[in-house]
Amino acid sequence: MLKLLAEDREEAGLRYEQFRRRLVKFFEWRGSLTPEEHADETLNRTARKLVEGVVINDLSNFVGGVARRLIFEMLEQREREQKALGKLSEPVALIEIEDDDEQDPRLDCFRSCLNELPQDQRNLIIDYYREDEHKRIQQRKVLADKLGTPLNALRIRARRLRAQLDKCITNCMK
């Protein structure tokens, strides 16, 4: 693949990185939750086609076609996840506090930030952290299966949601 980009190895490496950056932006613009992973997958699929012996005359157009197909796959996956999330039961209340005098401002911010999330993301993060430490691994495997997504992708989504919540809570506390 590098030889198609340029004869000089250094120049080929630079062009490869340019391709990758453009692909990351392409996937970001189309709403990918993991644009770097999608860019890498696009380049990996292109490299596999070259190894299989497919002749590529215009690498840029070929990579663009692979990226567009990957977008369609991403959208189909997202639709399956939405359907699966819709089938999950509504999460139970996280924490109920009876005495309003003892409320923690951080907890109020957490609740407020959690309510700002779309319903599917709120359900996902609650289900992701629902069980205690010993049952959590199995619960996450079940959740990933229900969503039809790999466990690592679920972890990445949960990590991003948690970072979003942390940022919101920090801003709320100011």
Listed in sequence order, the DSSP H helices in the chain are 2-5, 9-29, 35-51, 59-87, 105-116, 119-128, 133-147, 151-173
pLDDT of 89 reads: 54
pLDDT of 99 reads: 46
For residue 33, the 8-state DSSP code is S
Q: Which residue has the tokens 């770097």?
A: 36
Q: Are 61 and 123 in contact (CB under 8 A)?
A: no
pLDDT of 145 reads: 82
* pLDDT tens, the chain, 174 aa long: 777 777 888 888 888 899 899 999 998 888 887 889 999 999 999 989 888 888 888 888 999 999 999 989 888 887 877 777 666 555 544 444 444 445 678 888 888 888 888 888 888 888 888 766 667 777 888 888 888 888 888 888 888 888 888 888 888 887
Q: CB within 8 A of 9, min separation 6: which ones?
A: 2
Q: CB within 8 A of 167, min separation 6: which ones?
A: none
Q: CB within 8 A of 77, min separation 6: which ones?
A: 148, 149
pTM of model > 0.85: no
pLDDT of 96 reads: 47
Q: Which residue has the tokens 């992708």?
A: 153
Closest among 172, 94, 90, 167 to 130, alpha carbons compared? 94
